[in-house]
Protein backbone atom coordinates (compact mmCIF):
# COMPACT_ATOMS: atom_id res chain seq x y z
CA UNK A 1 0.00 0.00 0.00
CA UNK A 2 1.61 3.30 -1.11
CA UNK A 3 1.70 6.16 1.38
CA UNK A 4 2.89 9.73 0.71
CA UNK A 5 5.07 11.38 3.35
CA UNK A 6 4.79 15.16 3.42
CA UNK A 7 7.98 15.59 5.46
CA UNK A 8 10.18 13.96 2.80
CA UNK A 9 8.05 14.33 -0.34
CA UNK A 10 8.58 10.61 -0.94
CA UNK A 11 6.37 7.54 -1.16
CA UNK A 12 6.71 4.46 1.02
CA UNK A 13 5.19 1.00 1.05
CA UNK A 14 3.28 0.35 4.24
CA UNK A 15 3.50 -3.06 5.85
CA UNK A 16 0.05 -4.41 6.62
CA UNK A 17 -0.54 -5.93 10.05
CA UNK A 18 -1.55 -9.64 9.83
CA UNK A 19 -2.10 -9.36 6.07
CA UNK A 20 -1.84 -13.12 5.61
CA UNK A 21 -4.52 -13.85 8.19
CA UNK A 22 -6.86 -11.28 6.65
CA UNK A 23 -6.47 -12.83 3.20
CA UNK A 24 -7.43 -16.21 4.64
CA UNK A 25 -10.47 -14.74 6.39
CA UNK A 26 -11.74 -12.75 3.41
CA UNK A 27 -10.59 -14.80 0.41
CA UNK A 28 -11.08 -18.47 1.32
CA UNK A 29 -14.21 -20.49 2.05
CA UNK A 30 -13.02 -21.78 5.47
CA UNK A 31 -11.84 -18.30 6.30
CA UNK A 32 -15.21 -16.73 5.55
CA UNK A 33 -16.86 -19.28 7.84
CA UNK A 34 -14.53 -18.15 10.63
CA UNK A 35 -15.11 -14.53 9.65
CA UNK A 36 -18.81 -14.78 10.47
CA UNK A 37 -17.77 -15.50 14.03
CA UNK A 38 -14.80 -13.12 14.17
CA UNK A 39 -16.79 -10.04 13.14
CA UNK A 40 -19.26 -10.31 16.00
CA UNK A 41 -18.82 -7.57 18.63
CA UNK A 42 -18.80 -10.14 21.44
CA UNK A 43 -15.71 -11.81 19.96
CA UNK A 44 -13.90 -8.50 19.70
CA UNK A 45 -14.81 -7.70 23.30
CA UNK A 46 -13.36 -11.05 24.40
CA UNK A 47 -10.20 -10.35 22.43
CA UNK A 48 -9.99 -6.93 24.08
CA UNK A 49 -10.16 -8.58 27.53
CA UNK A 50 -7.14 -10.69 26.58
CA UNK A 51 -5.23 -7.53 25.67
CA UNK A 52 -5.93 -6.14 29.15
CA UNK A 53 -4.52 -9.20 30.93
CA UNK A 54 -1.13 -8.67 32.65
CA UNK A 55 0.49 -11.51 30.69
CA UNK A 56 -0.22 -9.63 27.44
CA UNK A 57 2.72 -7.31 28.32
CA UNK A 58 5.11 -9.76 26.69
CA UNK A 59 3.64 -8.82 23.29
CA UNK A 60 4.68 -5.15 23.50
CA UNK A 61 8.31 -5.31 22.38
CA UNK A 62 7.75 -7.81 19.51
CA UNK A 63 4.77 -5.77 18.29
CA UNK A 64 6.77 -2.53 18.41
CA UNK A 65 9.69 -4.10 16.56
CA UNK A 66 7.50 -5.62 13.86
CA UNK A 67 5.49 -2.46 13.24
CA UNK A 68 8.12 0.23 13.66
CA UNK A 69 6.74 1.77 16.85
CA UNK A 70 9.20 4.17 18.49
CA UNK A 71 9.43 3.23 22.18
CA UNK A 72 11.88 5.99 23.09
CA UNK A 73 10.46 8.07 25.89
CA UNK A 74 8.38 5.16 27.22
CA UNK A 75 9.21 2.68 29.97
CA UNK A 76 7.78 -0.60 28.66
CA UNK A 77 7.69 -2.13 32.14
CA UNK A 78 5.40 0.71 33.24
CA UNK A 79 2.53 -0.67 31.14
CA UNK A 80 0.24 -3.07 32.99
CA UNK A 81 -0.93 -4.78 29.78
CA UNK A 82 -0.70 -4.64 26.02
CA UNK A 83 -3.86 -2.51 26.00
CA UNK A 84 -2.21 -0.01 28.34
CA UNK A 85 0.60 0.30 25.80
CA UNK A 86 -1.75 0.52 22.82
CA UNK A 87 -3.89 3.26 24.43
CA UNK A 88 -0.90 5.15 25.90
CA UNK A 89 -1.45 8.89 26.25
CA UNK A 90 0.87 11.69 25.20
CA UNK A 91 0.86 15.49 25.20
CA UNK A 92 -0.41 16.84 21.87
CA UNK A 93 0.58 20.12 20.24
CA UNK A 94 0.11 22.09 17.06
CA UNK A 95 1.78 24.95 15.23
CA UNK A 96 -1.34 25.67 13.19
CA UNK A 97 -3.04 29.06 13.37
CA UNK A 98 -6.59 29.33 14.70
CA UNK A 99 -8.11 29.42 11.19
CA UNK A 100 -6.11 26.39 10.03
CA UNK A 101 -7.66 22.93 10.18
CA UNK A 102 -5.65 20.23 11.95
CA UNK A 103 -5.47 16.45 11.64
CA UNK A 104 -7.46 14.85 14.46
CA UNK A 105 -5.27 11.74 14.62
CA UNK A 106 -2.00 10.17 13.53
CA UNK A 107 -3.20 8.50 10.35
CA UNK A 108 -3.22 8.16 6.58
CA UNK A 109 -5.50 10.83 5.13
CA UNK A 110 -7.64 11.13 2.02
CA UNK A 111 -10.11 13.91 1.16
CA UNK A 112 -13.24 13.62 -0.98
CA UNK A 113 -15.60 16.38 -2.14
CA UNK A 114 -19.19 16.03 -0.96
CA UNK A 115 -21.25 15.86 -4.13
CA UNK A 116 -24.85 16.90 -4.64
CA UNK A 117 -25.83 13.25 -4.26
CA UNK A 118 -23.76 12.96 -1.08
CA UNK A 119 -21.86 9.89 -2.24
CA UNK A 120 -18.37 9.06 -1.02
CA UNK A 121 -15.88 6.82 -2.80
CA UNK A 122 -13.58 4.91 -0.45
CA UNK A 123 -11.29 2.03 -1.44
CA UNK A 124 -12.88 1.71 -4.90
CA UNK A 125 -16.39 1.31 -3.50
CA UNK A 126 -19.14 3.90 -3.20
CA UNK A 127 -21.10 4.64 -0.05
CA UNK A 128 -23.66 7.31 0.58
CA UNK A 129 -22.89 9.51 3.54
CA UNK A 130 -26.28 8.54 4.89
CA UNK A 131 -25.19 4.89 5.00
CA UNK A 132 -22.14 5.90 7.00
CA UNK A 133 -23.64 8.33 9.52
CA UNK A 134 -27.13 6.87 9.83
CA UNK A 135 -30.52 8.51 9.67
CA UNK A 136 -30.26 10.83 12.66
CA UNK A 137 -27.49 13.16 11.53
CA UNK A 138 -28.03 16.20 9.27
CA UNK A 139 -25.99 16.25 6.06
CA UNK A 140 -27.20 19.45 4.40
CA UNK A 141 -24.61 21.64 6.21
CA UNK A 142 -21.85 19.75 4.38
CA UNK A 143 -23.14 20.04 0.82
CA UNK A 144 -20.21 21.32 -1.26
CA UNK A 145 -17.81 20.57 1.58
CA UNK A 146 -15.28 17.81 2.13
CA UNK A 147 -15.22 14.40 3.76
CA UNK A 148 -11.84 13.66 5.34
CA UNK A 149 -10.98 10.02 5.94
CA UNK A 150 -8.33 9.37 8.60
CA UNK A 151 -7.23 5.71 8.52
CA UNK A 152 -5.32 4.65 11.62
CA UNK A 153 -2.94 1.70 11.30
CA UNK A 154 -2.18 -0.51 14.29
CA UNK A 155 1.19 1.19 14.82
CA UNK A 156 -0.38 4.63 15.15
CA UNK A 157 -1.23 6.55 18.31
CA UNK A 158 -4.89 5.58 18.80
CA UNK A 159 -6.17 8.62 20.64
CA UNK A 160 -7.92 11.38 18.72
CA UNK A 161 -8.90 14.99 19.36
CA UNK A 162 -11.39 17.70 18.51
CA UNK A 163 -10.41 19.83 15.48
CA UNK A 164 -11.39 23.22 16.95
CA UNK A 165 -12.99 24.99 19.89
CA UNK A 166 -16.74 24.46 20.13
CA UNK A 167 -19.51 22.34 21.57
CA UNK A 168 -21.16 19.03 20.81
CA UNK A 169 -24.67 19.25 19.41
CA UNK A 170 -25.60 15.58 19.11
CA UNK A 171 -24.01 12.14 19.42
CA UNK A 172 -25.35 8.91 17.95
CA UNK A 173 -23.91 5.42 18.39
CA UNK A 174 -24.68 3.02 15.53
CA UNK A 175 -24.07 -0.67 16.29
CA UNK A 176 -22.71 -3.08 13.72
CA UNK A 177 -20.31 -5.94 13.07
CA UNK A 178 -16.59 -5.27 13.05
CA UNK A 179 -14.71 -5.69 9.75
CA UNK A 180 -11.20 -4.53 9.00
CA UNK A 181 -11.24 -1.12 7.29
CA UNK A 182 -8.62 -2.13 4.72
CA UNK A 183 -9.17 -2.65 1.03
CA UNK A 184 -9.32 -6.44 1.34
CA UNK A 185 -12.79 -6.12 2.90
CA UNK A 186 -14.31 -3.86 0.24
CA UNK A 187 -17.01 -6.38 -0.62
CA UNK A 188 -18.33 -6.21 2.94
CA UNK A 189 -19.12 -2.44 2.71
CA UNK A 190 -17.34 -2.07 6.02
CA UNK A 191 -18.12 1.58 6.71
CA UNK A 192 -21.85 0.95 6.47
CA UNK A 193 -21.74 -2.18 8.68
CA UNK A 194 -19.13 -1.41 11.33
CA UNK A 195 -19.87 0.16 14.68
CA UNK A 196 -19.78 3.96 14.42
CA UNK A 197 -20.04 6.83 16.88
CA UNK A 198 -21.11 10.02 15.11
CA UNK A 199 -20.88 13.44 16.75
CA UNK A 200 -22.27 16.66 15.33
CA UNK A 201 -20.05 19.60 16.33
CA UNK A 202 -20.52 23.35 16.20
CA UNK A 203 -17.03 24.85 15.99
CA UNK A 204 -15.74 28.38 16.53
CA UNK A 205 -13.71 28.82 13.34
CA UNK A 206 -15.21 26.38 10.84
CA UNK A 207 -18.91 26.14 11.64
CA UNK A 208 -20.67 22.75 11.74
CA UNK A 209 -18.61 19.57 11.54
CA UNK A 210 -19.47 15.92 11.84
CA UNK A 211 -16.88 13.59 13.33
CA UNK A 212 -17.48 9.84 13.12
CA UNK A 213 -15.32 7.12 14.65
CA UNK A 214 -15.52 3.75 12.88
CA UNK A 215 -14.58 0.52 14.65
CA UNK A 216 -12.70 -2.27 12.90
CA UNK A 217 -11.90 -5.96 13.23
CA UNK A 218 -10.72 -6.72 16.77
CA UNK A 219 -11.38 -3.23 18.10
CA UNK A 220 -13.02 -3.98 21.42
CA UNK A 221 -14.42 -0.51 22.00
CA UNK A 222 -14.64 3.05 20.76
CA UNK A 223 -14.20 5.02 23.96
CA UNK A 224 -15.39 8.61 23.66
CA UNK A 225 -15.35 11.02 26.56
CA UNK A 226 -18.55 12.72 27.65
CA UNK A 227 -17.92 16.31 26.59
CA UNK A 228 -20.25 19.25 25.90
CA UNK A 229 -17.81 22.13 25.38
CA UNK A 230 -14.36 21.42 24.01
CA UNK A 231 -11.18 23.13 22.83
CA UNK A 232 -8.90 22.36 19.90
CA UNK A 233 -6.56 19.42 20.63
CA UNK A 234 -8.72 18.32 23.56
CA UNK A 235 -8.94 14.54 23.53
CA UNK A 236 -12.27 13.30 22.13
CA UNK A 237 -11.57 9.63 22.80
CA UNK A 238 -9.55 6.60 21.81
CA UNK A 239 -9.76 3.19 20.13
CA UNK A 240 -8.79 -0.03 21.82
CA UNK A 241 -6.70 -2.56 19.88
CA UNK A 242 -6.97 -2.66 16.07
CA UNK A 243 -6.83 -0.46 13.01
CA UNK A 244 -9.63 2.09 12.87
CA UNK A 245 -10.94 5.06 10.90
CA UNK A 246 -12.28 8.54 11.62
CA UNK A 247 -14.43 10.48 9.17
CA UNK A 248 -14.63 14.27 9.48
CA UNK A 249 -17.18 16.19 7.42
CA UNK A 250 -16.33 19.87 6.99
CA UNK A 251 -18.53 22.51 5.32
CA UNK A 252 -17.91 24.50 2.19
CA UNK A 253 -15.41 27.28 2.83
CA UNK A 254 -12.69 25.08 4.32
CA UNK A 255 -9.87 24.60 1.79
CA UNK A 256 -7.98 21.33 2.20
CA UNK A 257 -4.24 21.47 1.43
CA UNK A 258 -3.49 20.96 -2.27
CA UNK A 259 -1.05 18.07 -1.80
CA UNK A 260 -3.63 16.02 0.12
CA UNK A 261 -6.22 16.58 -2.61
CA UNK A 262 -3.70 15.72 -5.34
CA UNK A 263 -2.62 12.47 -3.67
CA UNK A 264 -6.24 11.47 -3.08
CA UNK A 265 -6.93 11.88 -6.81
CA UNK A 266 -3.94 9.60 -7.44
CA UNK A 267 -5.37 6.99 -5.08
CA UNK A 268 -2.63 7.55 -2.50
CA UNK A 269 -3.05 8.25 1.21
CA UNK A 270 -1.06 11.05 2.87
CA UNK A 271 0.57 10.35 6.21
CA UNK A 272 -0.33 13.01 8.79
CA UNK A 273 0.33 13.59 12.46
CA UNK A 274 -2.21 14.69 15.05
CA UNK A 275 -2.20 18.49 15.18
CA UNK A 276 -0.63 18.89 11.74
CA UNK A 277 -2.14 21.55 9.44
CA UNK A 278 -4.25 19.97 6.69
CA UNK A 279 -6.40 22.90 5.55
CA UNK A 280 -7.52 26.46 6.15
CA UNK A 281 -10.71 28.46 6.40
CA UNK A 282 -11.32 30.53 3.29
CA UNK A 283 -12.03 34.14 4.20
CA UNK A 284 -15.13 35.52 2.57
CA UNK A 285 -14.35 38.20 0.02
CA UNK A 286 -15.95 41.56 0.51
CA UNK A 287 -16.89 44.01 -2.24
Q: Do residues 180 and 39 lie in contact, with contact meaning Cβ atoms separated by under 8 Å?
A: no
Q: What average pLDDT does this structure show over 124-147?
A: 84
Residue 287: which pLDDT band, with cuts at 50, 70 and 90? very low
Per the model's pLDDT, the better-predicted residue between 106 and 83 turns out to be 106
Indicate the SS3 state at residue 76. helix
Whole-number mean pLDDT of the chain? 83
Residue 207 has pLDDT above 50, yes or no: yes
Domain residue extents for the chain = 16-86, 100-281
Task: Report percent pLDDT > 70 for the chain.
Answer: 74
Residue 230 to residue 234: CA distance in whole angstroms: 6
Put the strands of the sheet holding 235-239 in their side by side order.
Answer: 159-161, 235-239, 222-224
Q: Do residues 244 and 160 lie in contact, with contact meaning Cβ atoms separated by under 8 Å?
A: no
Burial profile 107-116: b = 16 or more Cβ within 10 angstroms, e = fewer: bbbbbbebee
Q: Do residues 26 and 185 lie in contact, with contact meaning Cβ atoms separated by under 8 Å?
A: yes
- pLDDT value for 286: 46
- Whats the size of the chain, residue-wise? 287
Comparing 31-35, 186-190, 266-270, the range with the smallest average pLDDT is 186-190
Helical pair 19-27 and 29-38, crossing angle rounded to 10 deg: 100
What CATH number has the domain spanning 100-281? 2.70.70
Alpha helices in the chain (DSSP H): 19-27, 29-38, 41-51, 60-67, 82-86, 129-133, 190-193, 258-265
Residue 76: which pLDDT band, with cuts at 50, 70 and 90? confident
Q: What's the pTM? A: 0.83
What are residue 38's phi and psi, to 5 degrees?
A: -65, -30
What are residue 32's phi and psi, to 5 degrees?
A: -70, -25
- pLDDT value for 109: 96
- How distant is the alpha carbon of residue 205 from its chain centre? 22
Closest C-alpha to 216, from 183, 190, 247, 187: 190
Active site residues: 106, 244
Amino acid sequence: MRIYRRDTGLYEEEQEFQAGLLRVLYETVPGRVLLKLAIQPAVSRLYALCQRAPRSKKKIRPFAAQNGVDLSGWRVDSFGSFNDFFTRQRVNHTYAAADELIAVADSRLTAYPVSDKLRLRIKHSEYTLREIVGEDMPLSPFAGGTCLVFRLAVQDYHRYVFPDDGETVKTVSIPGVLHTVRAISEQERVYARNHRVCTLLETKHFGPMLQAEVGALMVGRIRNHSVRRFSRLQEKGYFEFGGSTILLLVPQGVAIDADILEKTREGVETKVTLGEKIGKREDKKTC
